[in-house]
Amino acid sequence: MKKLSIGIVLLILTIVSCKEKDNNEDQNLGLLALVALSGGISEIPFQLSVGTDTSFGCNKLVTSQQVSTSTNFYLKDARFYVHDVKLVKADGSTVDFTLTSDNKWQTSKVALLDFEDGTGDCSSGTTETNKSLKGSAPLGSYVGVEFKVGVPVELNHMLNTTADAPLNSSAMYWSWVSGYKFMKFEWVTRDGAATNGTFHLGSGTCSGTGSSSTCSIINVPTITVKTSGSVAWNPTSNPVYFDAKALVNTTNTNPSSGGAALTCMAGNANAACKPLLNNVGVKETDGTSLGSQSTFYIKP
């Protein structure tokens, strides 16, 4: 994309040097050059947060606010797959953001974002992290991004032991029939006795054999986040925020305030899991995309 932008600018400069232009025309060409240089988005950063606290992570106590009715909230794990990424224009139309395969975190069809670093309460995780999507899109002005959380249906029933990265992760895998954990978010509260919370999003009501398995509850939400009005989005300075506080909103894992340990895998039939599913944009009754969510956002 950078080569294309440079080529456009060189063409513009050549035109300017070869022909006499008045000041207004030169200014217009200069603006076109700036548009060309400001267009191609090649990376979409993601930022884990708790509300407005962007320092949240492994081995980091959340302070000055309650999360899951706890003032002693710690992260244990935070990872999720995304696919079908699109950039959103001011008129609501979208263009594909084509993922670049790196043989580690993403292929052209799916990417794994990983915010845990294996320290503190995240000790069962990995030291390496991945907090951005890399790819390409047509030059243009965009106000946001759309993506699906999860693994594409056609890739969900593979053996993780033979699949290419990032679908080779045992930590993000259930079974050949059920497929992958689309999102893995785990936490612990320490208001007295340590109490764990677990949310593993994935498909449900699955049957079949091996790669021919199917699931009637897909649980793949479509997420759309945009700036306010037609304000152009700059992902470098305004990443996509993954708000852990919003994800666990209305849950209670604090035993000192009547809460208890919570396990959702994916938990569509469990009333206690409904808030988590809805907060990430999944309709609990049938696993379709709810059309609204509160877990992801970008600043207006």
> pLDDT tens-digit profile of 196-246?
999 999 999 999 998 899 999 999 999 999 999 899 999 999 999 999 999
Instruction: Tell me what pLDDT residue 180 has.
Output: 98
Q: What is the mean pLDDT of the chain?
A: 89
Mean pLDDT across the stretch 175-186?
97
Confidence of residue 63 (pLDDT cuts 50, 70, 90): confident
- The interaxial angle of helices 2-18 and 23-39, nearest 10 deg, is 170
Mean pLDDT across the stretch 37-51?
86
Is 37's pLDDT higher than 60?
no
Instruction: Tell me what pLDDT residue 173 has.
Output: 98
* Euclidean distance between CA atoms 219 and 73, whole angstroms: 26
Lookup: tokens for 157: 């029933």
Contact between 67 and 50 under an 8 Å Cβ cutoff? The reply is: yes
Torsion of CA 167, 56, 41, 93, to 10 degrees: 80
Instruction: Tell me what pLDDT residue 86 has.
Output: 99
Residue 287 identity (one-letter amino acid):
G
Lookup: tokens for 225: 């986040």
Instruction: Tell me what pLDDT residue 192 has.
Output: 85
* Euclidean distance between CA atoms 17 and 32, whole angstroms: 15
Instruction: Tell me what pLDDT residue 52 has.
Output: 86
Q: Which residues, at least 6 apart from 42, have a Cβ–Cβ distance to it below 8 Å?
A: 1, 2, 134, 135, 136
Confidence of residue 25 (pLDDT cuts 50, 70, 90): very low
Mean pLDDT across the stretch 288-292?
97
Mean pLDDT across the stretch 18-25?
43
